[in-house]
Structure 1
């Protein structure tokens, strides 16, 4: 087993290897080069490294890494990426891979952290002499199985009644609610611009984190969605009240999943309406009818509103590997003395912010 380290600026030259490894392992669209390369372009600072492990003439693991502090490295983790950027073939021992990588990194680092692992894609390993896991967040999904009527009947009475009431109110006011879906590469630039207009009118504008066509966020989402649209795997949902755009979802697809990356809505609407909820109902109805996907993934910290739409919740976690077992023991001692603070643990990255609607139930 041997690791090669290259500047991440050379990722494009090794994208085919990364793609093949993703397809042979977790098969997640979030780890496709079409998603990863725009992240590096817009959010990398030049300090990222691409690591590749060869065993018996084949690539068995790859990762994008960054030195975070003296003696510590971890996976490159911009907030726009829900998953840790690590791949390895099934059957390869993760602790062995991490130990060999830690010893191959320059400067004799003491700790290697892998962030934001999905327990459904990577069953959580047991803590060992040199390895520790730590909770990150819980996340939710909807499995597309059975009929929409069966799914909808299993939802809470308040949610169903509230959306029915909203649709009746819209009809009474003569407002036509409709949804369209953009999939063509040529439509993605305008879709991101429209999304930015909606988002910039809300609370994110005050924080300076809203998407804009000319900022890093906007450039990332445009480039990434164009990449996926060229493969027929991007979908931008737009929801309208007559000719007024009131809500949007940015989604990518692959590996049996449709993944909702971002949702926004018109915050100036009357509190009687929850356009993102109405859009989600129509989206789910379409997904259950078309049966093109196995699941709808939300990826993000479970909020109260998620639980109105699903009871499928699972955990995500971080992994830390120490150079020596004694270092892990020392870290445990320090953590206990400081009341749970863990200086050597990988820093939890911010959860990508998503708009949530006020309850109208």
Structure 2
């Protein structure tokens, strides 16, 4: 395996102030905080998260603080920008350092499998100015290249970041792009499913009837404290399946379980938690955990009893969750949070949004840094695809 290397720095004699073309808004002050320092900014942080240009529940303090306390072994700092008068925050994102692909190491906006969304929190009334300060802070504190993975590439925050980088004279690139399913919440569930073939609709109804024939079947749509109580059912269900066998279930790791319970409890107290489940004879056989943040919801986790796999309980509980989404007056869209691998919602949700990694580079070698970063990520992706292909060949070989 290639060693962990750092992308080439600029000439030491180069003045860091040359990274910024225009002068930044003097009324904004950058902050680079430890976990304890960030906790002291809690009221301002919550206010920013609740009114951000684009919501990101994973950068809310209710989620991020428990994750950093319990589950994250790496050193992650919190970059923020606040108003000099009044002290309100106008930008925030967690930052750490990791490899881009196979070899090069660079600062990242911190995402991970439990938080597959890297949208920085920006105040709507000064998004571009706040983004300029945030980018400048990241480069001054951590280096001239910044990777922002899991960005919604056509979103308003991505536009603000690009505009801010342009104003600062920085180079911008994007890579690792993919499409992931989203659900526009317009009209009714019946109206949305009306565009599906009658054969598919009959298939969904038949699957539900077959489950009902097994016993007393109930669909629960839970929010707030009731959803938080039911979260233990989800943890047990996930651990009983293949994730438990592979050790990747939340409950398989006590630190991850502790983070998840605290985060879910705090998000429930903030009115952000939704949980939909199917119960058969008073036993949970499928569950979906979602976070609602402003006009969007995020389908965070799903689990089902694999003993009932022939009845498609995962599809049935997602249909139940969709009913909950459509009955929520404040929602405009649901993000599946699905990655590049095939997912259960691929056939249920027709619409797609473009996601990927933004790369922002400054200094005299910014073009070279972008080229190195692109090449490293592309090499890593090629190697990963090759490894997956080899695994598929070996699986077929074993079956013969």
Q: Same fold (TM over 0.5)?
A: yes
Structure 1 SS opposite 2:203: helix
Structure 1 SS opposite 2:202: helix
Q: CA deviation at 1:137?
A: 3.4
On the 8 A contact 1:195/1:211 being kept in 2, the answer is: no
Describe the shift of the 1:67–1:211 C-alpha distance in structure 2 as closer, same or farther (beyond 3 A).
closer
Q: CA deviation at 1:228?
A: 1.8
On the 8 A contact 2:223/2:271 being kept in 1, the answer is: yes
Tell me which protein shows more helix as a share of its residues. Answer: 2
Matched, 1:203 2:203: no
Structure-2 separation of matches of 1:33 and 1:255: 15
Deviations 1:275-326 (A, max 9, x none): 1212222332344345342223311226354232222100112122223253
Partner of 1:11: 38
Matched, 1:183 2:219: no
Deviations 1:45-69 (A, max 9, x none): 3622122234664644222111336
Partner of 1:79: 113
**TM-score normalised to structure 1 length:** 0.80
Matches for 1:1-361 after TM superposition, within 5 Å: 1=24, 2-22=29-49, 23-45=51-73, 47-54=75-82, 57=85, 59-68=89-98, 72-84=106-118, 86-90=120-124, 91-92=127-128, 96-97=132-133, 99-105=135-141, 109-119=143-153, 120-124=155-159, 125=162, 130-171=171-212, 173=213, 175-185=215-225, 188=228, 190-212=229-251, 215-269=254-308, 271=310, 273-289=311-327, 291-301=329-339, 303=342, 305-329=344-368, 331-332=370-371, 340-341=378-379
Runs of 4+ deviating beyond 6 Å: none
Equivalent pairs counted in the alignment come to: 337
Structure 2 SS opposite 1:309: coil
Please give the root-mean-square deviation of Cα atoms over the aligned residues, in Å: 3.1
Deviates more, 1:137-146 or 1:212-221: 212-221
Describe the shift of the 1:14–1:339 C-alpha distance in structure 2 as closer, same or farther (beyond 3 A).
closer
Describe the shift of the 1:222–1:210 C-alpha distance in structure 2 as closer, same or farther (beyond 3 A).
same
Q: CA deviation at 1:219?
A: 1.5
Partner of 1:358: none
Q: CA deviation at 1:260?
A: 1.5
On the 8 A contact 1:265/1:275 being kept in 2, the answer is: yes
Deviates more, 1:144-153 or 1:24-33: 24-33
Describe the shift of the 1:103–1:310 C-alpha distance in structure 2 as closer, same or farther (beyond 3 A).
closer
Structure-2 separation of matches of 1:195 and 1:8: 29
Describe the shift of the 1:216–1:281 C-alpha distance in structure 2 as closer, same or farther (beyond 3 A).
same
**TM-score normalised to structure 2 length:** 0.73
Structure 1 unaligned spans of 5+: 344-361
Structure 1 SS opposite 2:347: helix
Q: CA deviation at 1:187?
A: 6.1
On the 8 A contact 1:95/1:131 being kept in 2, the answer is: no
Structure 1 SS opposite 2:40: helix
Structure 1 SS opposite 2:150: strand
Q: CA deviation at 1:196?
A: 2.4
Describe the shift of the 1:211–1:331 C-alpha distance in structure 2 as closer, same or farther (beyond 3 A).
closer
Structure 2 unaligned spans of 5+: 1-23, 382-400
On the 8 A contact 1:144/1:291 being kept in 2, the answer is: no
